[in-house]
């Protein structure tokens, strides 16, 4: 116990990384199935044969999809995430990923361009200097991780809805799909209503400093109405689309809407 | 004569006094299944970011990994919430809560706890709850409401931020959720132990009599 180092109360730094590693689906698939197989009682209640573990998984996936629609239904586009004073900021703000910080994408800001694709009028790519010239706002909000821990941080950048307007995006489309520089190709879909939420931001600064590598340099999408894994870092492209293209964690079973 | 025959039939057809009506039994066991699913998947979720210096053994967690645990948790929550709501509504509407759980007096609870610990608590009439039962059952209903409200706060901290404020903030709601779980586990141990000590109470919860 004594060797455990806590970044913030309740968050074990080693666990954050370890947990992400052990969440790889192939290793845990069997355990997942074992969990389903022992629950014969559920058969009586649902009428599904959960002894057959694949149907247990199917049932859970169906419920998760149902939960997506319930969450979309109760999502109020005007409900704002609570904001906090600077004194409430969590220091240090935790780095969290399925890899060590040393393995995090190391993006060269001079070469980097944000690619814009899909249902937009202007598909021009944006350099960092061009993006930095857009009007920016600062917000201090609580980042809530799917693992349960949370931390308060200060993010500065351009509201995504302003940018979507600027590039002539079809905001009737269903999703904005982000792709990232992570070597395994991290990506995540964001439903359009959340993308248009006033606090959803293309983030270029953390705590008034250029976004450090740990938090997603050169650009992160900060969505205070979503769990952390739906706040992609190291973003390289965005696509406005009607297709559900899946996401790194979403494909492995995290609930896709995951709104807060 | 015919009237006599009828009354004979009535006697034989009249079942023994119903201790637990069917709706109580159905909801009790549905709740038992939902609670166990919620606790085991909740332990899986807890392990992803422990609040304290311990984790739950993997053998006692559901889902295999965090994502699986979350799927179970957010599926079983519907069972727990719908069944729980139906139980609260029926309990109040039929007057069962008032009739069975009230009054609860500190002296009554103290007296019956002492009697229970010395094995002197009578169980002749299972339709009347003793004060230990009243306190435990009323208490666990309150804990049940709290665990659902703190859980909803963690699930929707933005949409339901007024609910989060009831607990103070998001991290506090997390601790409340945990301690409610601990209270339910403690209740479960005592509840099962006492039911096994008075087997006819367990029978009543299964077949009603």
Summarize pLDDT for B159-206 with one digit per residue, the tens: 999 999 999 999 999 999 999 999 999 999 999 999 999 999 999 999
B194 near B186, Cβ under 8 Å?
no
Please give the pLDDT value at position A198.
98
Please give the pLDDT value at position A52.
56
Inter-chain contacts counted by CB atoms under 8 A, chains A and B: 124
B131 near B64, Cβ under 8 Å?
no
Low pLDDT (below 50) residues in chain B: 1-12
Interface of B with A (CB under 8 A): 30, 33, 37, 45-51, 53, 58, 61-68, 70-72, 74-75, 78-79, 154-159, 161, 164, 170-171, 174
Residue, of A99 and A33, whose pLDDT is higher? A99
Does a structural domain hold residue A189? yes
Residue, of A231 and A56, whose pLDDT is higher? A231
A90 and A189 co-located in one domain: yes
**Domain total for chain A?**
2
What domain range is A56 assigned to? 6-74
Cβ–Cβ gap A148/B45 under 8 Å: yes
pLDDT at A252 over 60: yes
A23 and A111 co-located in one domain: no
Please give the pLDDT value at position B5.
46
Does a structural domain hold residue A31? yes
Please give the pLDDT value at position A2.
39
A226 and A150 co-located in one domain: yes
Q: Please, what is the Cα angle at B47 between B44 and B52, to 5 degrees?
A: 135
Does a structural domain hold residue A129? yes
A69 and A118 co-located in one domain: no
From 1.20.950.20, 2.60.120.10, 2.40.110.10, 3.40.50.300, which CATH number describes the B20-207 domain? Answer: 1.20.950.20
Confidence of residue A29 (pLDDT cuts 50, 70, 90): very low
Please give the pLDDT value at position A53.
73
A215 and A109 co-located in one domain: yes
Q: Which of these ranges, A157-171, A207-221, B9-23, B138-152, has the smallest mean pLDDT?
A: B9-23
Does a structural domain hold residue A257? no
Top residue of B45, B58, B75 to mutate, by most chain A CBs within 10 Å, is: B75
A195 and A220 co-located in one domain: yes
A64 and A90 co-located in one domain: no
pLDDT at A45 over 50: no
User: What would the two tokens of residue B69 be?
Assistant: 């645990």
Confidence of residue A7 (pLDDT cuts 50, 70, 90): very low
A38 and A159 co-located in one domain: no
Three state DSSP letters for B54-103 = CCCCHHHCCCCCHHHHHHHHHHHHHHHHHHHHHHHHHHHHCCHHHHHHCC
Mean pLDDT, rounded, for A145-151: 97
- β strands within A20-121, DSSP E: 113-118
A213 near A206, Cβ under 8 Å?
no
A19 and A50 co-located in one domain: yes
A225 and A106 co-located in one domain: yes
> Can you state the angle between helices A25-37 and B66-93, rounded to 10 degrees?
30
Q: What is the CA radius of gyration of chain A?
A: 19
Please give the pLDDT value at position B2.
45
For residue B178, the chain A residue with the least C-alpha distance is A148
Does a structural domain hold residue A1? no
Instruction: List the CATH number of the domain containing A180.
Output: 3.90.420.10
A155 and A230 co-located in one domain: yes
How many angstroms separate the CA of residue B4 from the nearest CA in chain A?
44
| CB interface of A with B, residues 163-222, below 8 Å | none
For residues B158 and A199, what is the distance between their CA atoms, to the nearest angstrom? Answer: 12
Buried b (16+ CB within 10 A) or exposed e, B134-149: bbbbbebbebbebbbb
Is the bond preceding residue B164 a cis peptide, omega within 30 degrees? no
Does a structural domain hold residue A113? yes
Please give the pLDDT value at position B119.
87
Average pLDDT, chain A: 86
Please give the pLDDT value at position B12.
47
Domain boundary among A74, A108, A129: A74
Domain boundary among A74, A97, A121: A74
Q: Please, what is the Cα angle at A218 between A215 and A221, to 5 degrees?
A: 65
Cβ–Cβ gap A35/B70 under 8 Å: no
Please give the pLDDT value at position B189.
97
pLDDT at A107 over 90: yes
Contacts of A42 (CB under 8 A, 6+ apart): A48, A50, A56, B33, B37
Does a structural domain hold residue A260? no
Does a structural domain hold residue A24? yes
Mean pLDDT, rounded, for A13-25: 43
Please give the pLDDT value at position B1.
41
Domain boundary among A20, A42, A74: A74
A156 and A196 co-located in one domain: yes
Please give the pLDDT value at position A178.
98
Please give the pLDDT value at position A23.
43
């Amino acid at each position: 116990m004594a060797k455990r180092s806590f970044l913030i109360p309740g968050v074990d730094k080693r666990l954050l990384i370890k947990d992400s590693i052990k969440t790889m689906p192939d290793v845990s698939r069997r355990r997942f199935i074992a969990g389903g197989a022992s629950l014969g009682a559920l058969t009586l209640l649902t009428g599904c044969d959960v002894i057959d573990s694949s149907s247990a998984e199917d049932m859970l996936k169906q419920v998760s999809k149902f939960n997506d629609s319930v969450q979309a239904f109760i999502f109020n586009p005007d409900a704002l995430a609570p904001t906090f004073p600077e004194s409430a900021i969590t220091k240090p703000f935790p780095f969290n990923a399925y890899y060590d910080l040393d393995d995090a994408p190391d993006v060269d800001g001079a070469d980097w361009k944000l690619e814009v694709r899909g249902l937009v009028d202007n598909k021009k790519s944006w350099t960092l200097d061009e993006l930095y010239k857009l009007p920016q706002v600062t917000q201090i909000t609580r980042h809530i991780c799917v693992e349960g821990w949370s931390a308060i941080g200060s993010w500065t950048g351009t509201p995504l809805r302003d940018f979507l307007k600027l590039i002539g995006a079809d905001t009737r489309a269903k999703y904005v799909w982000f792709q990232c520089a992570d070597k395994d190709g991290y990506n995540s879909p964001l439903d359009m209503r959340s993308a248009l939420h006033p606090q959803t931001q293309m983030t270029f600064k953390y705590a008034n400093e250029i976004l450090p590598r740990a938090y997603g340099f050169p650009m992160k999408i900060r969505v205070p109405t979503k769990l952390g894994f739906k706040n992609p870092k190291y973003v390289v492209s965005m696509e406005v689309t009607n297709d559900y293209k899946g996401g790194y964690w979403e494909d492995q079973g995290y609930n896709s809407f995951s709104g807060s | 004569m015919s009237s006599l025959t009828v009354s004979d039939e009535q006697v034989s057809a009249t079942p023994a006094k119903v201790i637990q009506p069917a709706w109580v039994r159905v909801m009790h066991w549905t709740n038992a299944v939902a609670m166990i699913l919620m606790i085991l998947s909740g332990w899986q979720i807890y392990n992803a970011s422990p609040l304290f210096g311990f984790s739950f053994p993997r053998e006692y967690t559901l889902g295999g990994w965090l994502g699986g645990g979350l799927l179970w948790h957010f599926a079983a929550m519907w069972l727990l919430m719908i069944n729980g709501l139906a139980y609260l509504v029926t309990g109040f509407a039929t007057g069962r809560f008032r009739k069975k759980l009230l009054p609860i007096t500190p002296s009554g609870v103290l007296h019956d706890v002492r009697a229970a610990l010395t094995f002197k608590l009578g169980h002749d009439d299972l339709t009347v709850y003793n004060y230990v039962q009243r306190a435990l059952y009323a208490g666990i209903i309150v804990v049940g409401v709290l665990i659902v409200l703190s859980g909803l706060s963690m699930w929707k901290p933005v949409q339901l931020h007024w609910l989060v404020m009831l607990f103070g903030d998001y991290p506090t709601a997390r601790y409340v959720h945990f301690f409610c779980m601990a209270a339910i586990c403690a209740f479960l141990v005592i509840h099962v132990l006492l039911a096994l000590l008075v087997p006819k109470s367990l029978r009543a919860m299964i077949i009603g009599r």
